[in-house]
Chain A
Amino acid sequence: MTAETLPATSTLAAILIDGVVRGAVYALVALGYTMVYGVLGMINFAHGEVFMIGMFACVYAIGAMSVGWGDHLVLNLFVGTLVAMVFSAAYGYANERIAYRRLRKAHVLAPLTSAIGVSTFLQYFIFLTVSKQNVNFPRYYSDWLTNSHLHLVFFDVTYLQIAIVVVTLVIMAALFYFINMTRMGIALRATAQDQLMAGLVGIPVNRVIAFTFILGSALAAIAGVMVAMYYDVLGFDAGYRVGLKAFTAAILGGIGNVPGAVLGALIVGVSESLTTYWYGSEWSDVTTFVVLMLVLLLRPRGLLGERVADKV
């Protein structure tokens, strides 16, 4: 029953690792914020809710499948994630089609307000129709990832933590490649620069923008599934806190910039974790926003956001 005190280096190493994973969680959501901003110059506040809908879709799909054809671990988890992606993508597309498209040429505050409205609407829609209470992620499907450890010298990490960080980096790299190297990516960048001109040269602007929302929302669903496993619980307000942190991270890294979102998120995650170690978790929100303010004072467009000048 007695636990021997671990050496301080070991605790610090564990704090840093957990901070990186926490940051990776924020990064998965921050990528969605930053993509939409990069193309449309608007902040899609409903993105956190799309992420939350992905969580619920996965858990309910898994529940239905285990009743329907039994507990097949990998299969159900895989299909559950696909279902989550489809649901989130559908909601993301619907948001764009219903709440944002008509406002594209309106004043910049109009789609922003609309996004806040959609965010509140989706939260209470899920609250009233799906679950007023927190729901547990089915542990049968997460235990193999959360209870398996990889022992390294000073610390150990769970498979899920490794998976979260790896998936974050892979998605970041894939997005970077997609935006900079592919045909669709070129269309995306052209649309971001000038929608009218892009339309004149034959780029289907509406389709490109819809695709951005669908892609960002599907990524949010993957994030949702992994975070639901990592936190063990999900609720109708799950998107709010993570969304706020992810948004902060995207600003910190330079909104509109894909690697910037990940860098910003990692900084937020590690600084929260270190604050818990040095001062206690009650201070973690304070340090996050102090870091944000300091960075914005020195680099008003965020750490990696250099070419946003023509955006607003």
Chain B
Amino acid sequence: MRFSSRFALAAIGTSLLLLAGCGKKEATDINIGLAGAQSGSDAQIGISMLNGSRVAIDEWNAKGGVLGKKINPIVFDDEGKSDKAVTVAQTLVDDGVVAVIGHFNSGCTIPASGVYNDAKIIEISPGSTNPKYTEQNFPYAFRICGRDDAQGSVAAAFLRDTLKLDKIAILDDKTSYGEGIADEVKKNFEAKGGQVAMIQGIGKDEHDFRANIDVIKGSGAQALFWGGMYGQGGPLYVQMHQAGLTIPFVSDDGAFDQAMIDTVGANAANIYVTFGKDYHGMPGADAFIKKYNDTFHQAEGAYSVYGYDAANVLFTAMTKAGTTDPDKVAAVMKGQPFDTILGQIEFNEKGDVKQSGYVIWTIKDGKFQVLTGNP
């Protein structure tokens, strides 16, 4: 009796699974992969990026979808880890996605891009800035944000020309992203005649920076550049100040998150990060921000707009191409300009955005604001 009821349950469960399986392969849907860090230390920035894309998907579906078909997002968490990202990429390929929006971390996007390229799937990353991603010459790889060579040179110019410093220290988190941007800053700062007194890497799970701070102090560096994310950047800044080291703290787009301000405090001084231009007040920005806040009941993140723009560009290109065929969609994407919240953008042959302007932001009144004038 007991056995048979269990058996019946199992049978029902299996048939439900089969039904779910059928639903997934609905031919009238366009499957789009959404991949990025949704857990771990980069969760906040990763989730808000994917949520931006979700807003765009909802809008398109409300208008009747793309090419008359409903967009079906398939979401996966890569935990910000390279190995996990490759598994996610393979799963998305198996699920039959026609394009992927993601990933977030460069260390995830780069290894995953090989999988997507082999499967002829368009990948458009809203937030991976390491140049290597598009330097692989994959025909289907795009990004909507800038590159670290551009970002690094803006940071180095700020340190050397604006702050007029001769000697800096650099610390990075040893990831493709953090080490990549740290090397760019070093290269550009030295090209401008500056001196890098110290460059070191530290594991991404380490939170005790005291020994590094001692070395920075001893090196006589006039500023620190942190190549990494807010998860470590915040505690690093706090520990520097506890040790009485108040030199300027310069960092990258990875430190551009509300969580950074939550850690360092609203009145934290001397923090400068490079990020894309301010989109507040641009056409469509207010509507997007309102929709985002209404949907998710929280403020948008640093890369939400980029996630939204990436999705819009992708769906617009599919509509214009009249198909989801990757070769034709990629040709459309590279062939014409697109209107986004971040302004009109065009892709070059590599899949990079031609118009990417990094500017220096600072923390003021409890939020990030574009730095105006000299600090």
Residues of A within 8 A of B (CB): 1-6, 8, 10-11, 14-15, 18-19, 21-22, 25, 127, 132-134, 136, 139, 146-147, 149, 156, 158, 230-233, 235, 237-238, 240-241, 272-273, 276-277, 280-282, 284-285
Contact = CB atoms under 8 A, between A and B. Distances in A.
Interface of B: 38-41, 43-44, 163, 165, 174, 199-203, 205-208, 210-212, 214-215, 217-222, 231, 234-235, 238-239, 242, 244-245, 247-248, 259, 262-263, 265
Contacts of B39: 127, 132-133
A134 B44 CA distance: 9
A233 B206 CA distance: 11
A133 B199 CA distance: 28
B218 A232 contact: no
B210 A18 contact: yes
Contacts of B234: 136, 232-233
Contacts of B247: 1, 3
Contact of B208 (A25, A136, A147, A235): A25
B222 A14 contact: no
Contacts of A10: 218
A5 B220 contact: yes
Contacts of A285: 203
A153 to B, nearest CB: 16
Contacts of B212: 276, 281
B211 A240 contact: no
A11 B217 contact: yes
Given A149-B244, A158-B242, 18 more contacts: A1-B163, A3-B221, A3-B222, A11-B214, A15-B211, A22-B211, A127-B39, A132-B38, A230-B208, A232-B238, A233-B231, A238-B207, A273-B214, A276-B211, A276-B214, A281-B200, A281-B201, A281-B212
Contacts of A237: 40, 205
Given A3-B220, A6-B218, A11-B218, A281 B43 contact: no
B214 to A, nearest CB: 4
Given A231-B208, A281-B200, A133 B43 contact: yes
A3 B211 CA distance: 18
B215 A277 contact: yes
B248 A1 contact: yes
A158 to B, nearest CB: 6
Contact of A11 (B38, B205, B215, B231): B215
A5 B218 contact: yes
Nearest to A228: B207
Contacts of A134: 41, 231, 259
A165 to B, nearest CB: 13
Contacts of B205: 237, 240-241
A237 B242 CA distance: 24
Contacts of A14: 214, 217-218
Nearest to A22: B208
B44 A133 contact: yes
* 8 shortest interchain CB distances as A-B pairs: A11-B218, A5-B220, A276-B211, A231-B207, A18-B210, A282-B201, A280-B200, A273-B211
Contacts of B40: 132-133, 235, 237
A240 B199 CA distance: 27
A235 B217 contact: no
Contacts of A139: 238, 265
A8 B201 contact: no
6 contacts: A3-B245, A4-B220, A132-B40, A136-B234, A230-B208, A282-B174
B218 A8 contact: yes
A203 B265 CA distance: 54
Nearest to B231: A134
A97 to B, nearest CB: 29
Nearest to B42: A133
A124 to B, nearest CB: 10
Contacts of A232: 207, 234-235, 238-239, 263
Nearest to B238: A232
Contacts of B244: 149, 156
